[in-house]
Amino acid sequence: PQLAESAPPGLPEPRGRGSAMWAQRAGVLGWLLLLQTVPRAAGAQPCSPKYFGRDSMVCVCNATYCDTLDPVVLPSNEDVRGKGTLKGQAGDKYHKTWANYFIKFLDEYAKHNLTFWAVTAQNEPLAALLAHPQFPTIAFTAVQQRDFVAQDLGPALARSSHGTRLIIMDDQRIHLPAWAKAVLGNATAARYVAGVGVHWYLDSIVPASCSLEATHKLFPNHFLLYTEACSGFLTYRFSVSLGCWERGDRYSHSILTVLNHFVAGWTDWNLALDLQGGPNWVENYVDSPVIVDSSKDVFYKQPMFYHMGHFSKFIPEGSRRVGLHSSRRCLFCQLEHVALLRPDGAVVLVVLNRSAWDVPFGISDPAVGFIEAVAPASSIQTYLWRQQ
């Protein structure tokens, strides 16, 4: 497809977002709901329960039997919270035990018919060095993660019956492509890894071309997936901003940017939060596409919800990005866009206009024809057609 922007007659006056905002909310976000069920007891030997009334239970031990748990693996700071690394080195009993916890997690959930497509080796392994003192976290360098994957976690997952994929890094893209080189450059580690997880929080520091695209060119057989993003994390007093169009706008800007640089998907951090941006036990309050007001028994679908819907509703799994040639005729009329071919043969084009004025443009597909359209100020639009 081709997309051409036309200069409007004169430079239109900036106008409010209200009418354009509601006019463009055509998307319906398809949520992935993860139902979590925790077993009453899990460990090397389960609890032998005895009940004293409806809600009173003890675990019975005698001379021949007592319930036990696997040993808790503490980070090197002797606390499950705050900064720390695993004791020892890859291949030892601490790393084997930690790898086995992944399998135990998958085993216990499988008992309740809950399966997982993938796990990450560690959430923000380098951010763990700078973590809030109450965050439970473990730090890994790229080399440490490489060895842990190659000697412990990778083999443990491969031996299990779950078929769960492994994602490495799960941190900021400023670490790419160096992190990928360290882990995927090792043939043993690479064979256990399906892809690279990325968080969006420091995206403004390094261009996508120097990080994401560079990584894809080096390791084209491993996917790139944005595994975490949220708004409000730097504005404590305004973590939740109801109806904030700019936050939805930033979501679409990020999604369009990374899709155009070989990223396969983009994940919001939160399914739904309360009016404070929680609950969160360390008061890490942030915003969410869906905010619940339990006092009124209602929930609010925010602009972020509808921005995400333009992608999740119209770009199904298996879609492939296609070439799109943009011909600009107006210096100040920059549109952001991505075109994809869906598995059903339809073409989808998402267009974001972040400017404060309307932008006329045209869409040309040799297989179908040409149409003229207008992207209203501060709007997002999705175009869908079949090539027949």
| Residue 317 annotated as catalytic | no
Beta bridge partners of 328: 5
Beta bridge partners of 118: 165
Question: Distance between terminal CA atoms of the chain?
Answer: 14
Whether the ω angle into residue 46 lies within 30 degrees of 0, i.e. cis, is: no
Give just the sign of the alpha carbon dihedral 19, 24, 28, 32: negative
Task: Fill in the DSSP letter of residue 151.
Answer: I
**Candidate list 5, 13, 78, 228, residue with the active-site label:** 228
What does each C-alpha distance from 301 to 214, 238, 290, 309 come to in angstroms?
36, 17, 5, 11
**Candidate list 5, 78, 108, 124, residue with the active-site label:** 124
Residue 158, judged by CB atoms within 10 A of its CB (0-12, 13-18, 19+), counts as exposed
The CA distance from 335 to 242, in Å, is 26
CB count in 10 Å sphere of residue 44: 10
Residue reference for tokens 């051409």: 4
The CA distance from 108 to 23, in Å, is 46
The CA distance from 169 to 198, in Å, is 7
What would the DSSP string read from start to end of 199-240? ESTTGGGS-HIIIIIHHHHH-TTSEEEEEE--S-TT-GGGS-
| Residue 124 annotated as catalytic | yes
Whether the ω angle into residue 279 lies within 30 degrees of 0, i.e. cis, is: yes
Residue 64, judged by CB atoms within 10 A of its CB (0-12, 13-18, 19+), counts as exposed
Whether the ω angle into residue 9 lies within 30 degrees of 0, i.e. cis, is: no
- Give yes or no for a contact between 4 and 329, defined as CB atoms under 8 angstroms apart: yes
Q: Which residues, including other chains, have CB under 8 Å from residue 234's CB and lie 6 or more apart?
A: none
Catalytic residue set: 124, 228
